[in-house]
Structure 1
Amino acid sequence: MNKEMLAVIEAVSNEKSLPREKIFEAMESALVSATKKKYEQDIEVFVNIDRKSGNFNTFRKWLVVKKVHYPTKEITLDAARIDDHTLNLGDYIYDQIKSINFDRITTQTAKQVIVHKVREAEKAITIAQFKKKEGKILSGIVKKVNRGHLTLDLGHSADAIILRSDMLPRENFRLGDRVRGILFYIKEDIKETQLFISRSKIRMLIELFHIEVPEIGEGLIEIKCAARDPGSRAKIAVKTNDKRIDPVGACVGMRGARVQAISNELNGERIDIVLWDSNPEKFVINAMSPADISSIILDKKKHMIDIAVEENNLAQAIGRNGQNIRLASQLSGWELNVMTKNDLHHKYKKEKDNIINMFVKHLNLNYELSKKIVEKGKISSLKELVSISIDKLHNITNNFHLKINDLILIKKLAQDIYTNLSLTKKDIINNKFKKKLLKLKGINNQLSESLINKGILTIENLAEQSIEDLSDINNLDKVEAGKIIMSARNICWFNKKNNM
């Protein structure tokens, strides 16, 4: 049996490409399981196989505990120390017992355990092997074509799945085709480990640049960010700290060879390579390439940038179906609005006129003084006027010979009006919502006030509530709360009209 065991272990190790030690461990587990089945009692068993001879010894083991709960598996510390005074709690004591003979039942049990343990070992090796490759490009052969996905053979008994949503539009593969994609997810299931590959994720584009442009792999050029419309168009921003290197030119390659190789891999996806800049205005101008930008105005508070272009450049700046402006926005992280120079001029003139007229109307200032505050102080709202210091306001209005007390009064009046307008705006919003609430079945005037006081200010907010969230509202039981929430959900989530 000893030689047979070693032969089986060697054969399984070679067939499954598993280390011999893993097969020995599986065999020991199989012998443990088979041995325990020979006993009527629930015992703990340990089997040790000699790695050279194939001989194995079987031991029954007891856990050393303070108080015995399982007499067939545990022993007290006092009893254990009768034979060995060095033992401590948590140690095991071992008694050698007779090893089992391999009859039909024993062999069947051992076989089942070995198969299970080998699968576990294969799974662990697969996970360890591909964990290192997560986020990297893998190559595989199409071995199965399904309606919603492809199965790729990665070699070494490993398969991967590429879903339809992770392929490029209008991309079709046949059996035997070689496919490259990014390993983006490893699903560790009880039965098997599944590897998921994508060709549509941004990381795929970035990894292709790492492969095609050696300077990126060497750390001379850094990819700062990227945006993709898979299979159609992409933008990627690069930078370098070495002034001798042109990062954009290096990524494009001689006669466009490098970027063309990447484009070909992605079904002709058009790729704009732009220079990254820490200055958001400069970066947005680069990101809008190939469109020529006339001017831009940045609003940090709204995290928004207005872009002005010549009228004959507007279509190119926006791109087909808004593609260029959308990708530039994703790349830069700013909300971008593109318009002609005339439209931008009219927009800001209108906004400036509105704030000047507001100051004239609400602060009782003359037009020239209001204009001075808006233009020289770059004040665009009552809130900004309230926040400005008296010294700065004095410098802005020094030509009008206003006294400090006059400026204090202007700021105080601005504060009062800003507060009143904010409250009025809130009341308007609440009243509009209240009217919507009253249209829902089961909501009366008192209940609508309670919901608003809880900070529920939209039908969407109400739809997201749970029955427990509304439990503190007086005279509203759980049944009625559930009906109200479902009415809101029918409107927001299922586009159903409310049953009045």
Structure 2
Amino acid sequence: MAITSANQLELLQTAEAVAREKLIDPGLVVEAMEESLARAAKSRYGAEMDIRVDIDRKTGRATFTRVRTVVADEELENYQAEMTVAQAKDYLENPQVGDTYSEEVPPVELGRIAAQSAKQVILQRVREAERERQYEEFKDRAGTIVNATVKREEYGNLVVELPGAGEAVLRRNEKIGREAYRPNDRIRCYVKDVRREVRGPQIFLSRTDPQFMAELFKMEVPEIYEGIIEIKAVARDPGSRAKIAVISHDGSIDPVGACVGMRGSRVQAVVGELQGEKIDIIPWNEDMPTFLVNALQPAEVSKVVFDEDAERIEVVVPEEQLSLAIGRRGQNVRLASQLTGLDIDIMTEEEESKRRQAEFEQRTKLFVDALDLDEFFAQLLVSEGFTNLDEVAYVDLDELLVIDGVDDDTAAELQARARDHIEAQNKAALDKARELGAEDSLISFPGLTPQMVEALAKDDVKTLEDFATCADWELAGGWTNVDGQRVKDDGVLEPFDVSLEEAQEMVMTARVSLGWVDPDELLGEETAEDDAEEESEGA
């Protein structure tokens, strides 16, 4: 097949038709044709030749050109595509290394094999261009909702067709449990991820992602789309129940009412799309205990105790509200935990009362045994808020005098007994620590009490060097996420209420004292961090 004037224009017409069908730039198709013709020409003239083809974008005329590059004498390797400066003088004036010389060669006849090869090159380049267009179109659409048409089902996964983007996948675990689809069904999905892979862009969809529900509300509630109402958090048990927390940036607009809509029209539109999933719309509150009370609706909460360090929260509910607060199979408390990002412990008022009674009895016994008091007097101390011997020993004397029946002499005697007991405990702890092998470098380290040294020695931390190699979480404890679950890491000094920041400071002080860390460098790092924080706040 020779490229004659009769079929020159057909090249451009073919390129236009393919580009229109695949929604790509016609220029890319023409470039693919040029490459395929160049390959065919090389098979005719020789693979070592540098043959280039240029198709005129107006007339369709294909020009075949042989290109030779000027190289240094010692670099000449390919005599068909390169020539030396001396050889180039026959073709160029004042040739330099890097110059090129082009000469037109006759167009080639495309045999059956060459034509087939050219076709493959064109198809490959067109597929690559189509994939690149799909990726560029959809890479910025991650996090949005698209409408698709079901094509087929493969092992529980749905393969759907997106308008102008080819196929996408809705995996089995991303479908709402009881949903079933047939070919050609229309389906609305959330674009969860778009990846560029060798076989083309892979578009992964979801109907169970919490953000799918958030985007549906954005479509149904104009105030959310306009930014007047903000969705702060979403938690879902797909197909069953969900909770969504919203806040209004306009005091005159009720965020819950706006999301529910007139007679529930807005929320029902979302519920219908999610196959009847029940949705609790909850007002957001920056005060975490208040927000949690809202999140546990419809259960009524009597009391909330928030532990910020452990990111745990204890909730006390009436006995008759316990099952409602927990929900069927723990669903209500699980969704509330996802919504707040906290671990939630729920107990009844009776359970909380028993726990408080046990703590009261434990502290009373401590004061009876340690201070040699009668039970009534020890109970008075606990009732006034004293929880340990240190508080009695080192509190301001006036705080003891407010207790009925306590005068100056009694208060002084109480503090003397408490201090004597503490000193005896400290001596026993130090003796035990030394017996376990604790060295004076660790015992005399500032910030460590004798009881802490004993605990460290029992954990085989016996020298200042051992202490300096500890991680802060090994001392203070912490929480680790394992397979999506928060797991408690117990710290050696955690029973002594040592915070993560305090542990970090002690370890760093130990490293400085041992000469492992230059204090000037440490100061420089802290200054840089402070500057970065100030810049961030300023921004």
Shorter-chain TM range is: 0.7 to 0.9
Name the residue aligned to 2:114: 106
SS at match of 2:190: strand
2:380 and 2:69 mapped to 1: Cα distance? 91
SS at match of 2:75: coil
Decide which of 179, 183, 187 is 1:175's aligned counterpart: 183
Q: 8 Å contact 1:166–1:200 — kept in the other structure?
A: yes
How far apart are residue 203 of structure 1 and its match?
1.4
Decide which of 27, 33, 38 is 1:21's aligned counterpart: 27
SS at match of 2:141: coil
In 2 relative to 1, CA 14–421 (structure 1 residues): closer, same or farther, beyond 3 Å? closer
The 5-angstrom pairing of residues 252-401 of structure 1 reads 252-355=260-363, 357-358=365-366, 364=371, 366=373, 397=400, 400-401=411-412
How far apart are residue 408 of structure 1 and its match?
6.7
Decide which of 55, 58, 83 is 1:52's aligned counterpart: 58
In 2 relative to 1, CA 269–75 (structure 1 residues): closer, same or farther, beyond 3 Å? farther
SS at match of 1:38: helix
In 2 relative to 1, CA 171–83 (structure 1 residues): closer, same or farther, beyond 3 Å? same
SS at match of 1:284: helix
AA paired with 1:48?
D
AA paired with 2:102?
D
SS at match of 1:236: strand
In 2 relative to 1, CA 183–157 (structure 1 residues): closer, same or farther, beyond 3 Å? closer
2:360 and 2:87 mapped to 1: Cα distance? 93
Instruction: Kindly indicate whether residue 37 of structure 2 is the aligned counterpart of residue 31 of structure 1.
Output: yes
Q: 8 Å contact 2:393–2:414 — kept in the other structure?
A: no
1:163 and 1:302 mapped to 2: Cα distance? 36
Q: 8 Å contact 2:30–2:55 — kept in the other structure?
A: yes
How far apart are residue 330 of structure 1 and its match?
0.8
Greater CA drift, 299-308 or 118-127: 299-308
SS at match of 1:316: helix
Decide which of 155, 159, 162 is 1:151's aligned counterpart: 159
1:405 and 1:94 mapped to 2: Cα distance? 104
2:264 and 2:284 mapped to 1: Cα distance? 20
Decide which of 238, 243, 253 is 1:235's aligned counterpart: 243
How far apart are residue 171 of structure 1 and its match?
1.2
Name the residue aligned to 2:454: 420
Q: 8 Å contact 1:235–1:272 — kept in the other structure?
A: yes
In 2 relative to 1, CA 259–86 (structure 1 residues): closer, same or farther, beyond 3 Å? farther
AA paired with 1:401?
A
Name the residue aligned to 2:102: 95
1:267 and 1:220 mapped to 2: Cα distance? 28
Decide which of 3, 6, 14 is 2:12's aligned counterpart: 6
How far apart are residue 258 of structure 1 and its match?
0.9
- Cα deviation 1:53-89 (Å, max 9, x = unaligned): 112332425386897375456678999899577978x
Greater CA drift, 241-250 or 31-40: 31-40
In 2 relative to 1, CA 110–274 (structure 1 residues): closer, same or farther, beyond 3 Å? same
Q: 8 Å contact 1:369–1:397 — kept in the other structure?
A: no
Q: 8 Å contact 1:36–1:43 — kept in the other structure?
A: yes
Name the residue aligned to 1:195: 203
Decide which of 184, 191, 194 is 2:192's aligned counterpart: 184
**Percent identity of equivalent pairs:** 35
2:233 and 2:76 mapped to 1: Cα distance? 61
1:148 and 1:350 mapped to 2: Cα distance? 54
In 2 relative to 1, CA 352–10 (structure 1 residues): closer, same or farther, beyond 3 Å? same
AA paired with 1:332?
T
How far apart are residue 93 of structure 1 and its match?
2.7
AA paired with 2:56?
D
In 2 relative to 1, CA 114–86 (structure 1 residues): closer, same or farther, beyond 3 Å? same
Query: Larger Cα Rg: Structure 1 or Structure 2?
Result: 2
How far apart are residue 99 of structure 1 and its match?
5.0
TM-score, normalised with respect to structure 1: 0.74
Q: 8 Å contact 1:181–1:199 — kept in the other structure?
A: yes
Name the residue aligned to 1:207: 215
How far apart are residue 396 of structure 1 and its match?
5.3
1:17 and 1:69 mapped to 2: Cα distance? 44
How far apart are residue 9 of structure 1 and its match?
1.3
Name the residue aligned to 1:495: none
- Cα deviation 1:153-198 (Å, max 9, x = unaligned): 2223612211111111111112222111111122433233332211
1:378 and 1:180 mapped to 2: Cα distance? 61
Greater CA drift, 169-178 or 365-374: 365-374
How far apart are residue 377 of structure 1 and its match?
6.0
Q: 8 Å contact 1:308–1:344 — kept in the other structure?
A: yes
Q: 8 Å contact 2:392–2:414 — kept in the other structure?
A: no
AA paired with 2:344?
L
